[in-house]
Amino acid sequence: MKALIFNEFGGPEVLHYEDIQDPKIGPDEILVEMKAIGLNFADVYRRKGNYHLAGKPPYILGYEGAGIVIQTGEKVTSFREGDRIAFADVPYANAALVAVPVDRAIPLPDDISFETAAALLLQGLTAHYLTKDSYAIKKGDVALVHAAAGGVGQLLVQIIKLLGGKVIGLTSSEEKRQAGIQAGADYMFLYSENWKERVKQLTEGKGADVAYESVGVTLMDSFKAVRIGGTVVFYGMAGGDPVPVDPRMLMDTSKTLTGGDLWNVLTSHQERVSRSQELFQWIMDGSLKISEPAVFSLKDGQKAHNLLESRKSTGKVLLIP
């Protein structure tokens, strides 16, 4: 089969499209012919060597995608050849064929395209647990969303609105500000503005109920922007490591700091399926929309990585085998 591989860490130029052996499936796995693959920043970090990779070269990136079952393991009874499935956390996805553990396979409704599933799942499941588990959005809540024009950010904006909340979004450019507004944010501010003061003005001096913090270096600013008794949900550090938090500040202001990680939520097959089904239903009834993805052939993986690292894309980047 064809796959996008690399033998050493480095820039996009280390990626090569080559023939390798087909994967062999175990008794509890299915073999999936890939139709669409999601590209994520975690793939960039792994390519650079920032994240640990098991085994020896050649390495294969990718954890998210969708395709058709072409073979099932001897113990598999819940899927059969021809079924459409998707996944958010199966390694070696940058290939024509992927061995998928049956407990990671998510049934794909006929009304959801392979491209939509590959563009939605990882970021959509992240936005889902952030708004349902890390801080459960209630009607009337005011939420501050960092990087609101990014992949997770746009979905966060929409789900918060679906759940009855109001959204104040933050981003870095006028183009991205417009993307956040198009996603449904009630207000969008640039990081270059005095956004903490603007948040206070919009909330009659109190502050937001919750801040979804994914930048890292802005963590203490997020605390200043939430109300007494408010919550900061820390789930990423795209801009760099945050400074340590003084627990006395939390005590004095009755504010809460909580962390979020998707893999602490997707602890069972049922969790994967039920959360994904809600996302799919929102897509099918028009309540949730994903922006047009940037689509590359898998053999052009270098170009796809270049675009993602440029941070000029506002939607998902997909690879098509």
d(CA 105, CA 84): 10
Which amino acid, one-letter code, is at 98? Answer: V
Number of residues that this document lists for the chain = 321
**Two structure tokens written together for 143:** 């939420």
The confidence band for 13, taking pLDDT boundaries of 50, 70 and 90, is very high
179-204: per-residue pLDDT in tens?
999 999 999 999 999 999 999 999 99
Neighbours of 293 (CB within 10 A): 20
Query: Which pLDDT value is given to residue 71?
Result: 98
C-alpha dist (Å) from residue 131 to 137, 141, 144, 183, 227: 6, 11, 12, 16, 18
CB 300 within 8 A of CB 2: no
The confidence band for 53, taking pLDDT boundaries of 50, 70 and 90, is confident
What is the number of H-type helices and E-type strands within the chain? 9, 16
* Average pLDDT of every residue of the chain: 96
Query: Which pLDDT value is given to residue 233?
Result: 98
Range 67-80 average pLDDT:
97
What are the domain boundaries of the chain? 2-120+265-320, 139-259
> DSSP string of 95-162?
BSEEEEEGGG-EE--TTS-HHHHHHHHHHHHHHHHIIIIIS---TT-EEEETTTTSHHHHHHHHHHHH
- Let me know if the fold of 2-120+265-320 is the same as that of 139-259: no
CB 233 within 8 A of CB 212: yes
Considering the entire predicted model, what is its pTM? 0.94
d(CA 255, CA 226): 8
d(CA 137, CA 10): 40
What percent of the chain clears pLDDT 90, i.e. is strictly above it?
91
**Two structure tokens written together for 292:** 């047009």
d(CA 136, CA 160): 9
Q: DSSP letter at 50?
A: S
d(CA 147, CA 180): 9
Domain made up of 139-259: CATH architecture: 3-Layer(aba) Sandwich (3.40)
Q: Under CATH, what is the fold of the domain 2-120+265-320?
A: Quinone Oxidoreductase; Chain A, domain 1 (3.90.180)
Q: How far is CA 170 from the centre of its chain?
A: 17
β-pairing, 317-320 with 29-39?
Answer: antiparallel
d(CA 208, CA 228): 9
Neighbours of 265 (CB within 10 A): 19
120-151: per-residue pLDDT in tens?
999 999 999 999 999 999 999 999 999 999 88
Which amino acid, one-letter code, is at 90? Answer: V
Residue 247 in this model has a pLDDT that exceeds 90: yes
